[in-house]
Structure 1
Amino acid sequence: MYLIIPVALVVLLLLSAIRILNEYERGVIFTLGRYTATRGPGLIIVIPIVQQMRKMDLRTIVLDVPTQDVISRDNVSVKVNAVVYFRIVDPASAVIQVANPFEATSQLAQTTLRSVLGQHELDEMLSQRDKLNVDIQQILDHATDAWGIKVANVEIKHVDLDETMIRAMAKQAEAERTRRAKIIHAEGEKQAAAMLVEAARALGADSRAMQLRYLQTLSDIANERTTTLVFPLPLDLIKPLLDRE
């Protein structure tokens, strides 16, 4: 009876010393408070009381950055949110260098998002989103390197504007379309005028060409369904006839 209790305690200690880590997990071992090793995956032994283990997950973490109020460089207030993909590559640093790696990465992502986007104008936020994603990712990756964290990707999900700004942008787009339409119309008028000038030069080079054009015009007028016909008679066309007399 007296032997059962000690044997049971020994068995419990041996069982508590056995740890099993999955393929995506690592165990950071501290011996009497000092870091000694990073172990796993598989079966590992942790000496009770003497050693402690912190288990870290090495899989990619998807962090949803809450919506942030950002004032762009051209003084436009927008609401922006993003998503960050990161993972722990150095479990020992993630345990020793930072108290809560996930919370630290989240707070750093929020401040970096506001800082980077605040240096750009609204048009750049809307049209150059890929470039902004890369800039934020590089800044985060550099800052979290000391924590043993690798930021793989950053994606800006939404850039929301208030109703007043949306209406202003719609008016600006409409004005831009009107401007382009007027420019295209003016270009067409310019090209048509140039072609008319060229045609006039060609007709003026030979009086016979002008006479043929005049006769063609008379033929077109004669085909019209009208009771009254007016025949214009330019003097330069009958001048050769007058000269013969």
Structure 2
Amino acid sequence: MLEELVAAGVAAGSAGLVYLAAAARIVRQYERGVVLRLGRLRDEPRPPGFTMIIPAIDKLHKVNMQIVTMPVPAQEGITRDNVTVRVDAVVYFKVVDAAAAIIRVEDYRFAVSQMAQTSLRSIIGKSDLDDLLSDREKLNQGLELMIDSPAVGWGVQVDRVEIKDVSLPETMKRSMARQAEADRERRARIINADAELQASKKLSQAAGVMSDQPAALQLRLLQTVVAVAAEKNSTLVLPFPVELLRFLERAQQAAPALGERERSEPTSPPAVPTPPPSPTPPPPGSPGDQSPSESPESSDDQ
């Protein structure tokens, strides 16, 4: 009799242990347990820790309450300005209502993934290429709103949506590269022109100072010689003053004009006073020898 009681107690203990093992459940800190008893929802989700259910009657569904990072597959679409692009994104969401995530949607992960893909295609069709490349923050907010609106009824809250990459066709990449290169060249030319303008203004001011003070040009020449000599070159270049070149040029232009004026206006030598010639006496016996007393009247009378 005693043996039968002991055997019955052991059997009951074993059955209790089996029942306890089948009924015991552990819910982790980041999970919530949703219990369905005979297919019906039981009150509130079970909190983290040890919990018990009725085997074969209750069914416990554990729902992860952590933030889930879900990559959205790359979606190919045509933008509003008729450019074919491939865009992929990532969605960050979490379950805020464990019972709604189990009861109202079959698979909330799959539902969020499909909603993200369709919303991404819609955003591509409504946006321009420049918006996809430069104004992503606004697109992320619009995409988050489109996904979060239906997800609220599923007990899911979308925390953030980010567009990861925008793939462009090779022809479009080359066109954009040429456009960017042309824009950079334009800005470089404008900067160079602005620098030349500022330099010309400063040089004109320096020229005005040097014209007022001629010694400044000589000092500048000496500074240039010192700067060139400091580089230890075998050849020393001395700048030639521009003013001297202009002086020589004016002198060269004035020389032919002076020569032509001298040829057109001949000058007579200055008159030098000469003493009158002294009379020389004629030789004796010559017909021309006349006495000083004889006059031309007396010779005619004879």
TM-score w.r.t. structure 1 length?
0.75
- Whether 1:105 aligns to 2:124 is no
1:25 to 16, 31, 43: 31
- Whether 1:145 aligns to 2:152 is yes
Per-residue CA distance 1:126-168 (angstroms, 9 max, x = gap)? 1011221121112211220000011111111111112111001
Query: Residues 1-245 of structure 1 correspond to what in structure 2 (within 5 A)?
Result: 3=8, 7-37=13-43, 38-181=45-188, 221-224=242-245, 229-231=248-250
- Secondary structure of 2:56 counterpart: coil
CA contact (8 A) 1:58 1:87 kept: yes
For 1:188 and 1:121, the matched residues in 2 are separated by 37
Per-residue CA distance 1:46-99 (angstroms, 9 max, x = gap)? 112222111111111110111110211111111111111111110000000110
For 2:13 and 2:196, the matched residues in 1 are separated by 104
- RCO (CA 8 Å, sep 6+): is it higher in 1 or 2? 1
In structure 2, the partner of 1:239 is none
- Secondary structure of 1:177 counterpart: helix
Change (3 A) 1:27 1:221: closer
For 1:32 and 1:6, the matched residues in 2 are separated by 26
CA contact (8 A) 1:90 1:148 kept: yes
Consecutive unaligned residues in structure 1, runs of 5 or more: 200-211, 213-219, 233-245
For 2:13 and 2:146, the matched residues in 1 are separated by 56
- Secondary structure of 1:231 counterpart: helix
For 2:49 and 2:188, the matched residues in 1 are separated by 70
For 1:139 and 1:222, the matched residues in 2 are separated by 78
> What letter matches 1:19 in structure 2?
R
More strand by share: 1
- Secondary structure of 1:170 counterpart: helix
Identity percentage of aligned residues: 43
Deviation at 1:18, TM superposition (A): 1.1
CA contact (8 A) 1:46 1:52 kept: yes
> How many residues align structurally?
218
CA contact (8 A) 1:117 1:132 kept: no
Deviation at 1:172, TM superposition (A): 1.5
> What letter matches 2:175 in structure 1?
A
CA contact (8 A) 1:66 1:82 kept: yes
Change (3 A) 1:160 1:230: same
In structure 2, the partner of 1:237 is none
TM-score w.r.t. structure 2 length?
0.62
Consecutive unaligned residues in structure 2, runs of 5 or more: 206-211, 213-240, 252-302
- Secondary structure of 1:8 counterpart: helix
RMSD: 3.5
For 2:47 and 2:198, the matched residues in 1 are separated by 77
> What letter matches 1:79 in structure 2?
R
CA contact (8 A) 1:90 1:149 kept: yes
> What letter matches 2:28 in structure 1?
N
- Secondary structure of 1:230 counterpart: helix
For 2:62 and 2:74, the matched residues in 1 are separated by 31
Segment of structure 1 superposing worse, 117-126 or 89-98: 117-126
> What letter matches 2:124 in structure 1?
L
